[in-house]
Amino acid sequence: MTTPSNLSSDIASADHTDHHHLFEFTGEAAEMWPIIFKNLVFNILTLSLYRFWARTNVRRYIWENTKFKGDPLEYTGEGGELFKGFLIVLLFVFLPLIGLAVWAQLLIAKGNAGLGASLLFGVYMSFLWLVPLGIYKAHKYRLSRTRWRGIRGALEGSGTGYAWSSFGYFFLIGITGGLAFPFVENALWKKMINKTSFGDEGFRYDMPPGPLYRAFFAYLGFGFLGFIAFAVFGGFSALSSGGSIEGGAIVGFFIGYIAMLFSFGIGYAFYLHRQLIHFWDNTHYQGCRFSFTGELGDMIKMYIGNFILIVVTLGIAFPITQMRFVRYVMDHMKMVGPLDLSVISQSTEEEPSFGEGLAEGFDMGSI
């Protein structure tokens, strides 16, 4: 409480954002555990149908502890919206698909294997389109429910274009034996980011995938070395025990196999890290761009920690791992260049009225 006399001088210095970091994450596991516990109780009571509200509670906590210029993000979504989205998709997408799949099975059982099999094939093909559509729609919902200082984010369009591109890219990756992977990742990031906005200002990304390829080949090299090591190690142990796969040879084989997985894992983490930097450092908002300065070592530590948490708690600690990821990103995210917040006003994009049914149906309800 202040007296009117000294009020205006106080307010003159009221923009107390300067002494804060731009991005900040203040969430703590100790505060997340009670939320997890409550969610667990209700999930058990409702045979997991409570999950939509559970996820909302977790998001609300993570959003409110993600701060930019000292002010927190706000998550305005509600569990009921996620549930509604799921029911709508179940009724109009999944039940018809299940119906088609059942019909296909009956056709096969009836002896009309040709028609049945092609129908079933069609159903599975439709997943290749529906999964990216679900990813897009989930992003759209989450952005529309994310506010900062009262202004919300948005993702333009319905996502069908994104879904068709992803559909095509799936085959492109197959045809090129995986070599198109960085190209595809880059193209999808570009599609998504250029449709993303906060308030009435859009994000921009326009980078070719070229620089990603060096990291990608390094990853393949890593993996190849691991494979060679595995072949040599495994082969040697097999030979040393006279060609029989017993005792020591199995241990050798196992160690070689683990080493190979490990080198693949490290290689992939290396690539992912480079990709994260490539994507964010070239993503622009208004007059500035993002800059990601996270270290590879910290990222690997974060992922290994998350893996252990998931295994030890049988997945219950999943929200903690999400927090650890957000913290890693927020601790190392910067913005470079001039940013004039005064000219950014509310988004004019329409807000979806329910959310994420498709993503939920395919079990990709990530964050």
Partner 1 sequence: MKFKARFFSGESLEATAAVLDLRETVFEIRSLDGRILFSRPSKDACFLFADKSGDRVDIGVIGEKDYRIIVEAPEVRDILTSFLPQIAAAPRGQGWGFGLKISAGLVGFMLLLGVAVWQLERIVPALIPDEYARDMGLNIANEYIEETGGQCKNAKGTAALQLMVNRLVGSGGGARGMKVRDLTVRVADSPTVNAFAVPGGQIVLFRGLIKEASSADEVAGVLAHEIGHVYHKHPLRGLTRSVGLSIITTLFSGSNMSELTQQLIVSGFSRSMESDADMEALQMLGDANIDPEPLAGFFQRLAEKYDGNLMAALSFVSTHPASAERAEKIRLGKRPDKIFSPVLNAEQWQALQNICPKVDKKDADKKDTEDEVTI
Tell me whether residue 305 or residue 365 sits nearer to partner 1 (CB atom): 365
Tell me whether residue 51 or residue 274 sits nearer to partner 1 (CB atom): 51
Tell me whether residue 212 or residue 358 sits nearer to partner 1 (CB atom): 358
Tell me whether residue 102 or residue 336 sits nearer to partner 1 (CB atom): 102
* Residue 232 C-beta: closest distance to partner 1, Å: 38
* Residue 132 C-beta: closest distance to partner 1, Å: 15
Tell me whether residue 200 or residue 227 sits nearer to partner 1 (CB atom): 200
* Residue 234 C-beta: closest distance to partner 1, Å: 33
* Residue 87 C-beta: closest distance to partner 1, Å: 9
Residues that bind partner 1 (CB under 8 A): 1-2, 4, 7-8, 10-12, 14-16, 26, 31, 38, 41-42, 45-51, 53, 56-57, 60, 64, 71-72, 74, 78-79, 90, 94-95, 97-98, 101-102, 104-106, 109-111, 120, 148-151, 199, 341-346, 360-363, 365
Tell me whether residue 100 or residue 225 sits nearer to partner 1 (CB atom): 100
Match 């119906």 to its residue by tokens: 99
Tell me whether residue 64 or residue 156 sits nearer to partner 1 (CB atom): 64
* Residue 363 C-beta: closest distance to partner 1, Å: 5
